[in-house]
Structure 1
């Protein structure tokens, strides 16, 4: 089913996709995004990529380097982040963020414009337990809301400082200083964009079978002020909507807003043989995750966190 679709990545400094630019996946050059709130230099890398723009490299040397080769990482969203001081009017307010953004306030994660609760697969809650107990313990949100969201503190979402940043005290002490540049990288082996599959220990499914046509959106934001710094959008299109030169036909964008592509996905939806939803066993899935990852974060003491 995945071969019916083609992926396009766009990015911008806010939610308005009309102002986004297409991201050249697996290319060494960065996309530069400047807003009143921050300067961003973005790279997106996807293993086995066959999406837009036409002629994109299928992989990157990034995946051959450690720790990504050993991890078998499937994608990376990495960027240089330079937060900007607020305007004079904002700086004169009572906001405590006068020198920078608190580590407790900067968030990274996913959000959606409309409900996904009716499209969540069997075993979703088990998958969330695996993610929150072992992979990203700082993740929080509401997947059942009218506007679903799952955000985590940026410090514990980006891989290099994840363990250190799980401590609330460390997050509170850390400040992303205005005018200073920070290198951030979000990567993992669990989301396989090439095959539209989610693969967690003890839990696997085909994303296409539960997708409602909405784009997958990654957002860097300030939970205290509501400021948005970066929005990266992963959109799927039908391959039949491509022109001969590999560009999208006019009007194809309407599909990602729940138009005819969402209808097509609903029509095509069926349980693939490789998924394990039919015989989902939460106890077995959690045991397998424990065997692979070890003791979950919520069972460790503060002394265990470096």
Structure 2
């Protein structure tokens, strides 16, 4: 395996995860990584219950468990992190232009590592053929169709209302499995959504198939995005045949990896998850925040 950029960044750092219903960080909450209880996010378009899990987590807040039973599940023995969530839309949402991926508010072209082109080609060919990317524009992005990007997708039952007693929750088992619950099976069948995760991902690469599928108001859905290819603790990208130590390219502008779930065409945002690497003065300031439970 090629190892690109062996020289690590010498600055101490900690990972902090926060999430909210919009890009505005004032709407975000700090995520307790590996917590058994989800973080509830009530946005204008849907209610979300979020779990973020990182193997051998060594970040903030300090109360975060180092381990999650998620990584003991037979499906996730190799995975390094997961963003899993359940959600209930507050209106019907067409899935044609729903995307999941990363974006930035500033250019990153000068910080891209030498192996970027190869890494992107490998990822698109072997991991996610639906991925598209513009890393050289002023507001770079990498998105794919949400219903194709998620490695697990489950259709739950229709809820009578979205109140405290109806907020979505992940199943009792730590891992979300492909499939459906109750009348969710009928919804999958009606829309010809394959039961197998790989076939479902291929199915939703088609714009016509996405256009035919609507997320129904008051129905609960489950999604899990996980990977064995990126280690958030060590900030290392591990793809077949190539390893890139990303930490060398982190600075005060490029120290945040942002995941978004949104409608590309309508510019409606449903969920934003930020993975922040904090160091130097910013780390000192943040660890003194009472919300991090360090005192």
Match in the other structure for 1:212: 251
Q: CA deviation at 1:109?
A: 0.5
Cα deviation digits, residues 196-219 of structure 1 (max 9, x gap):
100000111111111233311000
Q: CA deviation at 1:103?
A: 2.3
Q: Which structure: larger Rg? A: 1
Q: CA deviation at 1:241?
A: 5.5
Q: Which of the residues 206, 218, 224 maps onto 1:185? A: 224
C-alpha change, 1:66 and 1:13, in structure 2 (3 Å) is same
1:104 paired with 2:96, answer yes
User: Is the 1:53–1:247 Cα contact (8 Å) retained in structure 2?
Assistant: no
1:25 paired with 2:33, answer yes
Distance 2:89 2:212 in 1: 17
TM-score by length of 2: 0.74
Q: Which of the residues 67, 77, 90 maps onto 2:83? A: 77
Equivalent position SS for 1:181: strand
Distance 1:224 1:84 in 2: 19
User: Is the 1:101–1:175 Cα contact (8 Å) retained in structure 2?
Assistant: yes
Map 1:91-240; keep pairs closer than 5 Å.
100-160=92-152, 161-213=200-252, 214=254, 215-238=256-279
Distance 2:268 2:28 in 1: 17
User: Is the 1:37–1:83 Cα contact (8 Å) retained in structure 2?
Assistant: yes
Unaligned runs of 5+ in 2: 1-7, 153-199, 290-295
Cα deviation digits, residues 238-292 of structure 1 (max 9, x gap):
277556xx95247xxxxxxxxxxxxxxxxxxxxxxxxxxxxxxxxxxxxxxxxxx
User: Is the 1:140–1:152 Cα contact (8 Å) retained in structure 2?
Assistant: yes
Cα deviation digits, residues 158-198 of structure 1 (max 9, x gap):
00342332333432322111221110000010110121100
Distance 1:7 1:34 in 2: 24
Distance 1:138 1:56 in 2: 33
Match in the other structure for 1:12: 20
Q: Which of the residues 25, 44, 49 maps onto 2:52? A: 44
TM-score by length of 1: 0.72
Cα deviation digits, residues 6-59 of structure 1 (max 9, x gap):
000000110111221000100110111111111111000000110011131112
Q: CA deviation at 1:136?
A: 1.0
Distance 1:9 1:16 in 2: 15
Aligned length: 232
Distance 1:240 1:141 in 2: 32
Considering fraction of residues, name the structure with more helix. Answer: 1
Equivalent position SS for 1:28: coil
Which of structures 1 and 2 has the larger relative contact order (alpha carbons within 8 angstroms, sep 6+)? 2
Distance 2:280 2:79 in 1: 26
